[in-house]
Amino acid sequence: MNGVLVVDKPKGMTSHDVVNRVRRLLHEKSVGHLGTLDPMATGVLPLVMGKLTRLAQFYNASEKAYEGEIRFGFATDTYDADGDPVTPVLAVAPSFEQVIGAAARFRGVIEQTPPPFSAKKIEGVPAYKLARQNRPVELKPVPVEIKEFEILGVEGDCARFRARVASGTYMRSVAHEMGQALGIGAHLSVLRRTAAAEFDLSHARSLEEIEAAAGAGAEPLFVHLRRVLPALPSVTATDEAAAKIRVGRSVNLPEMSRAPLVKVFYGQNQLIAIAQRVAGTLFHPKFVLI
């Protein structure tokens, strides 16, 4: 079963939990996700299946979009609502202007320290494993890019936001550091991913939808493969070219004289290869996906 399936991840499940659930529902062993979501987060979790798991390498630096809520008044050890308070719990009500002022420093390319409960590795060990053992976790700041960070409203001790960020950015850290900037503590209380790379909520399916469709075949829930990797041009192979590609042979694609990589289809929706230009219009299959 080769395809791309976007799951609307429910709260309380890890990304790996979702992968395992889909493996069981669709009886497909080869399933991977394109970017982890924390257990408390919901929303867009793209999965690649079968031979299309090889496409995962094209998504290592994918842009993400979020909507969520920051609660002020105390910080937590995980920087989100799943953690334990690590500062006194204060009754606070920051103004809209105060929150906007604090948010202004979290736009563009900034230095960000990842949360101690994260998958970032320290001498080969994920930070969250050390944190769970109450061992010291010292993570160094790294440059990240926050392309959009808009405060949508403030009510009581909570601020709603919308953000668009480059890969590797932690909204948990943004919330935590905003609390530090205001001197009142804060953590991420709600997070919903609305987009990852070219996939958004319009593509997302609930686990209940997938389970209901599994018996009759879940393929109608998959993303149409012409929409995958939109930065790469597409070409439809002839019968002769498709036969060569299937056995790893180079082919001539006259209409693709400049593109370094192309998606090669057989018919409308069968992605058979990612091909790399060798010279002129001669392309060699980098990955055969059938």
**Helix or strand run (H / E) with residue 54:** none
Q: How far is CA 264 from the centre of its chain?
A: 25
List, in sequence order, every residue forming a beta bridge with 222; answer none if it has no partner: none
Three-state secondary structure call for residue 178: helix
DSSP one-letter string for 188-216: EEEEEEEEETTEEGGG-B-HHHHHHHHTT
Nearest to 15 by CA among 193, 176, 199, 214: 193
From 150, 194, 187, select the one nearest 171 (Cα to Cα). Answer: 187
Query: Catalytic residue numbers?
Result: 38
